[in-house]
């Protein structure tokens, strides 16, 4: 039986009339080779059906040029934009991105162990925090980690998060200026420190200005259904707010529906609504939601810069980067007089 012989870089070099070293450089992002010679090598490789063995090369060099991205929250409406940004940013520096998610029965640490098997050069963890043991194992192998949308306290890792205190002051100041005085703050998980900081700063700003009344903070409220039910419950209990701040746009959409369809409350005259995230749906006419815009481009750039810096210099001290957001005012809050 005749077996098809595997095409090697030696075959490509012979056809292109170059050395094997030149073939290797032609397939390396950082390889120094003229455009004309590179094209001749690529043409020869295409003709022979040759593909370089990237895994073997990474084992030989102890460098894979791979960045692992771990996504723990697939409900983020700006997910596609974020991943596209990472792919583009790292491609410009000669790296490729491999993606993993945390599914049912999986843990963040399990996913990071998988990344170690691929010998990635760096890891980004989005909306989750790795454990101390696996984090230490990554650092021992000089594989830096950047945690996005969470804090990396106690870990030798960078973090890139929203500046919750700045956001909370901005939202509170704007709502007070528009005449709102009784507030409900709706959040999902109580463990997200950025939202804790945001709501704390919101409450302090209201208190310091001496203009606000009731502030009702409710946890474990996440998504359309929870938002719609919660605003109805508050009104029926005699705790009706005149403004609601939600930790996600989708919760805010539910509050908006509850006010409109279940309670016949006028938005924004009798109830102001603010979301967080500036999702692609927030500007739709049926929502026209006032919301906090998350600076995705800046987050991608800051994350990539921090990770690449520590790949080059593993001894650098980890950074904690806080990003400023801006409030996008639309139709769910009153106009200022």
Q: Are strands 290-293 and 326-328 parallel, antiparallel or unpaired?
A: antiparallel
In this prediction, residue 104 carries a pLDDT of 61
- DSSP category for residue 88: H
Say whether both 282 and 306 belong to one domain. no
Give the dihedral of Cα atoms 188, 190, 195, 199; nearest 10 deg.
100
Cβ–Cβ under 8 Å, residues 41 and 26:
yes
On whether residue 282 sits in a domain, the answer given is: yes
Say whether both 207 and 137 belong to one domain. no
On whether residue 2 sits in a domain, the answer given is: no
Cβ–Cβ under 8 Å, residues 25 and 52:
no
Q: Mean pLDDT in each 10-residue stretch from start to end of the chain (337 residues)?
A: 69 88 76 84 86 59 83 74 90 90 77 86 92 90 92 91 96 95 94 93 91 86 96 95 96 97 96 94 95 94 95 91 96 90
Extract the tokens encoding 129. 């925090």
Say whether both 76 and 144 belong to one domain. yes
On whether residue 225 sits in a domain, the answer given is: yes
CATH number for the domain harbouring residue 276: 3.40.50.2300
In this prediction, residue 164 carries a pLDDT of 95
Say whether both 110 and 177 belong to one domain. no
Say whether both 183 and 282 belong to one domain. yes
On whether residue 3 sits in a domain, the answer given is: no
Say whether both 311 and 272 belong to one domain. no
In this prediction, residue 228 carries a pLDDT of 98
Cβ–Cβ under 8 Å, residues 64 and 53:
no
Say whether both 97 and 199 belong to one domain. no
DSSP characters over 215-239 = EEEE-S--SHHHHHHHHHHHHHTT-
In this prediction, residue 48 carries a pLDDT of 86
In this prediction, residue 2 carries a pLDDT of 46
In this prediction, residue 23 carries a pLDDT of 82
Q: Give the domain extent around 266.
A: 164-294
On whether residue 329 sits in a domain, the answer given is: no
Say whether both 265 and 301 belong to one domain. no
Cβ–Cβ under 8 Å, residues 223 and 236:
no
Say whether both 69 and 94 belong to one domain. yes
266: exposed, middle or buried (Cβ count in 10 Å: 0-12, 13-18, 19+): exposed
CATH number for the domain harbouring residue 36: 1.10.260.40
Count of structural domains, the chain: 3
On whether residue 278 sits in a domain, the answer given is: yes
On whether residue 104 sits in a domain, the answer given is: yes
Extract the tokens encoding 153. 């306290």
Sorted by sequence, the CB contacts under 8 Å of residue 224 that are 6+ apart come out as 250, 251, 253, 254, 257
In this prediction, residue 280 carries a pLDDT of 87
On whether residue 285 sits in a domain, the answer given is: yes
Say whether both 156 and 301 belong to one domain. yes
Say whether both 185 and 132 belong to one domain. no
**Cα–Cα dist 336/178, whole Å:** 5
Alpha-carbon distances, residue 290 vs 82, 110, 125, 285 (angstroms): 22, 39, 29, 12
**Cα–Cα dist 259/277, whole Å:** 21
Say whether both 196 and 234 belong to one domain. yes
């Amino acid at each position: 039986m005749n077996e098809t012989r595997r095409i090697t870089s030696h075959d490509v070099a012979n056809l292109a009339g170059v050395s094997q070293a030149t073939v290797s450089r032609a397939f390396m992002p950082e390889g120094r080779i003229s455009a004309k010679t590179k094209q001749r090598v690529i043409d020869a490789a295409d003709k022979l059906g040759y593909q370089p063995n990237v895994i073997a090369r990474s084992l030989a060099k102890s460098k894979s040029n791979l960045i692992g991205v771990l996504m723990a929250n697939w409900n983020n409406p700006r997910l596609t934009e974020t991943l596209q940004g990472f792919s583009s940013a790292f491609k410009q520096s000669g790296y490729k991105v491999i993606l993993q998610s945390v599914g049912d029965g999986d843990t963040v640490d399990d996913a990071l162990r998988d990344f170690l098997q691929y010998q990635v050069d760096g890891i980004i963890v989005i909306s989750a925090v790795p454990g101390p043991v696996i984090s230490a194992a990554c650092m021992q192998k000089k594989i830096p980690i950047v945690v996005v949308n969470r804090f990396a306290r106690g870990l030798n890792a960078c973090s890139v998060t929203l500046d919750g205190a700045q956001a909370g002051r901005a939202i509170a100041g704007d709502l007070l200026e528009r005449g709102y005085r009784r507030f409900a703050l709706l959040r999902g998980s109580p463990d997200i420190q950025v939202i804790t900081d945001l709501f704390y700063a919101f409450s302090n700003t209201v208190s310091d200005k001496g203009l606000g009344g009731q502030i009702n903070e409710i946890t474990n409220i996440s998504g359309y259904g929870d938002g719609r039910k919660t605003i109805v419950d508050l009104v029926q209990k005699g705790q009706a707010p005149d403004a609601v701040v939600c930790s996600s746009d989708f919760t805010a959409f539910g509050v908006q529906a509850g006010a409109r369809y279940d309670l016949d409350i006028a938005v924004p005259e009798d109830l102001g609504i603010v979301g967080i995230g500036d999702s692609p749906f927030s500007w739709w006419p049926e929502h026209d939601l006032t919301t906090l815009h998350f600076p995705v481009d800046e987050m991608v750039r800051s994350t990539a810069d921090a990770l690449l810096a520590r790949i080059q210099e593993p001894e650098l001290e980890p950074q904690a980067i806080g990003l400023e957001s801006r409030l996008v005012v639309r139709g769910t809050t009153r106009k200022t007089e």
